[in-house]
Amino acid sequence: MKIGVAKETFAGETRVALTPEVVKKLVAKGFEVVVESGAGAAACFPDADYQTAGALVADSESVYASEVLVKVRKPSGAEIARLGAGAVLIGLIELCEDDGTLKALHEKGVKVMAMERIPRISRAQSMDVLSSQSNIAGYRAVLEAAGLYGRFFPLMMTSAGSAKPVRLVVLGAGVAGLQAIATARRLGAEVWAYDVRPETREQIESLGAKPIVLDIGESGSGEGGYAKELSAEAKAKQQQLLADELAKAHVIITTALIPCRPAPVLITEEVVQRMREGSVIVDLAAATGGNCPLTEKDKVVVKHGIRLVGHTNYPAMVPSDASSFYAGNIKNLLEIMVEDTGAGLSLKDFSTDEITAAMQIQPGS
């Protein structure tokens, strides 16, 4: 079975779907791997490393002729045109935005496997790309804040004087938020955190942060471990109660997302105006409107003396490790998608496994 590894063409994307280390393991299991020349260059994986691992490095035409094509981001129209009928595409399809990609893929007869649709069940943890990439985003967001904040993060004492530790607040205690807490604590910050799901309090405390507890009259716990959208009344109460805590912060990392919905507003303009000049807000929800309405997507702006960071692809800032994590997720998925018939590897019926059944996007869905 031939697996094609395409070079990413999405602006600013530096990751690659498979790394040489993972390619070597797949080749050992009987897969034939074809890598587009230069596919791993931005993540510091040269073509020579893929060749050493047993892959064939070729042009895009050869890669797109593969039975299975693996990507990080969804394909462009030109890339879809290269795919053969009956091919299997695996990647982040970004389903919340209907831009005609799915229609074009289905018209071409491509079987679409969306990595973001992997269910959050125990046996799928090793394939959960949203968690692996969110973990990187939480880490990198704190480093971005530290670089932009004009003061120390930890307590610093010298003969010339001392500096107090930064007061950092993390909004949202999912995978990205918990990693942000852990990273900020390692840098010496005093960390507070808030999440609408009451069950996260223990996780926040286990990382050495202090939970912000608000009584908003309802729980924000949703299905599959995600937060759900609050009622209008609860949102208003949440903003009001959070305001004083946020106004005291020097750095805020926001990670609150609701799948396929606009990001909830947690930091109002009034709160930004109350923060100390030079403070930093890193808004990981910038792609869906931002947890602060002043955030601008893919920009760093200064408003009311506060730096607002709206980057939308933090994993691409750590491309080597982000690619390694993503490739590991892909490898684990491929192992349940194929079987050895004795005459070689062949694809299973995707509907017979709850993981692949949940991932497959059918026409009209």
Which of the pair, 262 or 329, is modelled with greater confidence?
Answer: 329
- Asked, for residue 255, whether it belongs to a domain, the answer is yes
User: 110 and 233 share a domain?
Assistant: no
Residue finishing a domain among 298, 316, 334 = 316
- In this structure, are 205 and 328 located in the same domain? no
Number of domains in the chain: 2
Whether 131 is catalytic is yes
In a domain, 129, yes or no: no
Give the pLDDT of residue 344: 87
Catalytic residue among 47, 128, 195, 283: 128
Task: Please check the confidence at residue 75 and state whether its pLDDT lies above 60.
Answer: yes
Decide if 132 is catalytic: no
Q: Of 99, 123, 125, 346, which one is the catalytic site residue?
A: 125
Q: Residue 125 catalytic?
A: yes
In the chain, helix, strand, coil percent, each to 5?
Answer: 40, 20, 40
Asked if pLDDT for residue 340 goes beyond 60, the answer is: yes
Tokens of 339: 């079987």
Do 187 and 98 share a domain, yes or no? no
Same domain, 108 and 13: yes
Q: What percent of the chain has pLDDT over 70?
A: 96
Predicted pLDDT at 220: 55
The active-site residue out of 131, 132, 134, 279 is: 131
Residue 130 inside a domain? The answer is no
Whether residue 117 lies in the annotated active site: no
* 239/91 same-domain check: no
Both tokens assigned to 253: 């990392």
What mean pLDDT is predicted for residues 217-230?
Answer: 60
Instruction: Kindly state whether residue 186 falls inside one of the protein's structural domains.
Output: yes
On whether both 71 and 87 belong to a single domain, the answer is yes
pLDDT at site 269:
96
Classify residue 356: in a domain, yes or no: yes
Q: How confident is the model at residue 214 (pLDDT cuts 50, 70, 90)?
A: confident
Whether residue 127 lies inside any domain: the answer is no
Q: Residue 237 belongs to what domain range?
A: 137-316
* 124 pLDDT above the threshold of 90: yes
Do 18 and 141 belong together in one domain? no
Residue 92 to residue 63: CA distance in whole angstroms: 18
Q: Are residues 47 and 158 in the same domain?
A: no
- Say how many C-beta atoms besides its own lie within 10 A of residue 6's C-beta: 27
Among 37, 226, 274, 353, the active-site one is 226
Q: Are residues 228 and 336 in the same domain?
A: no
Q: Are residue 226 and residue 260 in the same domain, yes or no?
A: yes
Q: Residue 290 sits in a domain of what CATH number?
A: 3.40.50.720
- 338 & 296 share domain: no
Catalytic residue among 59, 99, 120, 244: 120
- C-alpha to C-alpha distance for 207 and 185, rounded to whole angstroms: 8
Give the model confidence (pLDDT) of 145-160 as tens digits. 999 999 999 999 888 8
Q: Is there a domain that residue 128 lies in?
A: no
Same domain, 164 and 244: yes
Q: Give which of 168, 149, 191 is closest to 280, Cα–Cα.
A: 149
Retrieve residue 309's tokens.
Answer: 């960071």
64 in any annotated domain: yes
| pLDDT tens per residue across span 20-73 | 999 999 999 999 999 999 999 999 999 999 999 999 999 999 999 999 999 999
pTM: 0.92
